């Protein structure tokens, strides 16, 4: 959630930021007004309640002194009726505000490039040269078929489209990658955690998936529970509604989880292969930091993810997302895109974001800075998406006959 006080006090500045992210200024104007309405509604309500409390206190005295209370009672009852109305008004204002505020995306950082969509993203640098092939490189699904690595049909049979089954060596490679990622992250200082893959609605709201993106989530029927779309949700919300101490920070977490996404709205995109599945494995990094620490940690996280790709010998590039392509919760995001020779292009394999205090405000994660409670900064990033790494290995390490070499660093994990 954005800082509504800031929006109110510096409206022009705030709206300029959000326009960069593609938010209509009229909605912001509306939000500002709703906030002001709520404030004044609450003020009058609280005043009325204060009066009622004062009168109620008198009852005790009156009773002890055996005074007549009928007049006082009549007064309080009148006040009560007034309060009921004021309460309804305040409640309506509250609901109206929440509806808009929870759907409002985060402010982008000033340094974020202006742009409408992914075409305006800015490449920062390339790492490793793509390999020269003396044959036409195949796409991963062809290789998967040749090697018997992925069983698309039976995945669909078991669940539905966009599910698949890994078999034999590919299944072991998947497991090796998870272990490799976790080990690297741990060496960087991330604590490994193993969390529930199902979280409740409050947690999903904390990290920003709810209420706006309910359609992208698998919900458990009849329960207040959802399959997590990313480990960012449980890892960040580990500290939901907590007040940390300054010396605990930064907290660095890493965890492997499967991720479940409905992929609503991506019909027809990446229908072949396992680039876009309803269930995929991912190893995630999450950092809980002070505002002062977050820039540095962010850089470290980007470096870490890039380093993993380098260790795997996978050519990739770093891309800074423009305002229009930035996710809902992010202030700034750097994507890592891995080179896929079969597709002849770079594809996203990791996305690392600083959400500043946006998630912290929703999830009520604070720390004690002296006497004051201050919202933390939360960061998240993949290190890495496992399925897409598997795809990248297949395409980059393929031989002309369709066989695939195993990267050196993974051999000890197989």
**Contact footprint for RNA (CB under 7 A):** 5, 39, 42-43, 46-47, 49-50, 52-57, 59-60, 63, 73, 76-77, 80, 243, 366, 368, 373
CB distance 326 to 21 below 8 Å: yes
Quote the least distance from Cβ 291 to RNA, whole Å: 15
Rank residues 45 and 112 by Cβ distance to RNA and give the closer one. 45
Catalytic residue among 261, 317, 347, 356: 261
Rank residues 56 and 344 by Cβ distance to RNA and give the closer one. 56
CA–CA distance, 95 with 247 (Å, rounded to integer): 37
Q: Is 276 a catalytic residue?
A: yes
- Give which of 389, 243, 370, 365 is closest to 308, Cα–Cα: 389
Residue 384: asked if its preceding bond is cis (omega within 30°), the reply is yes
Quote the least distance from Cβ 76 to RNA, whole Å: 4
3-state secondary structure 151-206: EHHHHHHHCCCCCCEECCHHHHHHHHHHHHHHHHHHHCCCEECCCCCEEEHHHHHH
Catalytic residue among 170, 351, 353, 382: 351
Quote the least distance from Cβ 104 to RNA, whole Å: 17
Rank residues 69 and 414 by Cβ distance to RNA and give the closer one. 69
CA–CA distance, 240 with 146 (Å, rounded to integer): 47
Strand partners, 199: 226
Quote the least distance from Cβ 196 to RNA, whole Å: 12
Quote the least distance from Cβ 23 to RNA, whole Å: 22
Rank residues 111 and 245 by Cβ distance to RNA and give the closer one. 245
CB distance 103 to 287 below 8 Å: no
Quote the least distance from Cβ 283 to RNA, whole Å: 23
Which residues, 6+ apart, have CB-to-CB distance to 245 below 8 Å? 367, 368
CB distance 329 to 208 below 8 Å: yes
Q: Is 170 a catalytic residue?
A: no
Rank residues 39 and 212 by Cβ distance to RNA and give the closer one. 39
Catalytic residue among 294, 353, 388, 395: 388
Residue 155, token pair as written in the block:
């995945």
DSSP assignment letter at 117: S
- Give which of 214, 184, 192 is closest to 201, Cα–Cα: 214
Q: Is 317 a catalytic residue?
A: no
Rank residues 81 and 129 by Cβ distance to RNA and give the closer one. 81
CB distance 274 to 200 below 8 Å: no
Catalytic residue among 167, 172, 188, 276: 276
Quote the least distance from Cβ 73 to RNA, whole Å: 5
Rank residues 78 and 122 by Cβ distance to RNA and give the closer one. 78
Question: For 196-202, which contacts have Cβ atoms below 8 Å and span 24 or more sequence positions?
Answer: 196/228, 196/234, 197/227, 197/228, 197/234, 197/257, 197/258, 197/260, 198/225, 198/226, 198/227, 198/228, 199/225, 199/226, 199/228, 199/233, 199/234, 199/237, 200/224, 200/225, 200/226, 201/225, 201/226, 202/240
Catalytic residues: 261, 276, 348, 351, 388
């Amino acid at each position: 959630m954005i800082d509504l006080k800031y929006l109110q006090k510096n409206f022009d500045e705030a709206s300029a930021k959000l326009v960069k992210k593609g938010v209509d200024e009229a909605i912001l104007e509306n939000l500002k007004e709703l906030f002001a309405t709520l404030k004044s509604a609450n003020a009058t309500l609280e005043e009325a309640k204060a009066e009622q409390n004062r009168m109620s206190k008198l009852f005790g005295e009156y009773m002890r002194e055996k005074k007549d209370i009928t007049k006082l009672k009549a007064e309080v009852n009148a006040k009560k009726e007034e309060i009921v109305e004021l309460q309804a008004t305040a409640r309506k204002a509250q609901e109206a505000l929440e509806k808009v505020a929870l759907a409002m995306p985060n402010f982008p950082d000033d340094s974020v490039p202006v742009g409408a969509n992914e075409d305006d993203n800015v490449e920062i640098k390339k790492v490793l040269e793509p390999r020269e092939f003396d044959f036409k490189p195949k796409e991963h699904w062809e290789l998967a078929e040749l090697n018997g690595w992925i069983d698309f049909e039976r995945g669909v049979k078991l669940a539905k489209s966009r599910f698949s089954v890994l078999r034999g060596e590919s299944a072991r490679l998947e497991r090796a990658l998870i272990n490799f990622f976790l080990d690297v992250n741990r060496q960087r200082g991330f604590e490994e955690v193993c969390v529930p893959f199902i979280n409740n609605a409050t947690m999903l709201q904390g990290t920003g998936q709810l209420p706006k993106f309910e359609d992208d989530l698998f919900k458990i029927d009849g329960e207040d529970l959802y399959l997590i779309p990313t480990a960012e949700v449980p890892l960040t919300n580990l500290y939901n509604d907590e007040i940390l101490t300054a010396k605990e920070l930064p907290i660095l977490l890493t965890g492997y989880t499967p991720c479940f996404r409905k992929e609503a709205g991506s019909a027809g995109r990446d229908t072949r292969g396992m680039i876009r599945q309803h269930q995929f494995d991912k190893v995630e990094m999450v950092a809980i930091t002070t505002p002062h620490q977050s820039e540095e940690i962010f850089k470290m996280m980007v470096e870490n993810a890039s380093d993993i790709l380098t260790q795997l010998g996978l050519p990739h590039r770093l891309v800074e997302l423009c305002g229009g392509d930035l996710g809902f919760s992010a202030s700034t995001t750097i994507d890592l895109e891995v080179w896929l020779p079969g597709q002849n292009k770079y594809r996203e394999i990791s996305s690392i974001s600083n959400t500043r205090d946006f998630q912290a405000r929703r999830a009520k994660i604070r720390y004690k800075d002296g006497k004051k409670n201050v919202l933390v900064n939360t960061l998240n990033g993949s290190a890495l998406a496992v399925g897409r790494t598997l795809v990248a290995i297949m395409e980059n390490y393929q031989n002309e006959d369709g066989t695939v070499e195993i990267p050196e660093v993974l051999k000890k994990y197989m």
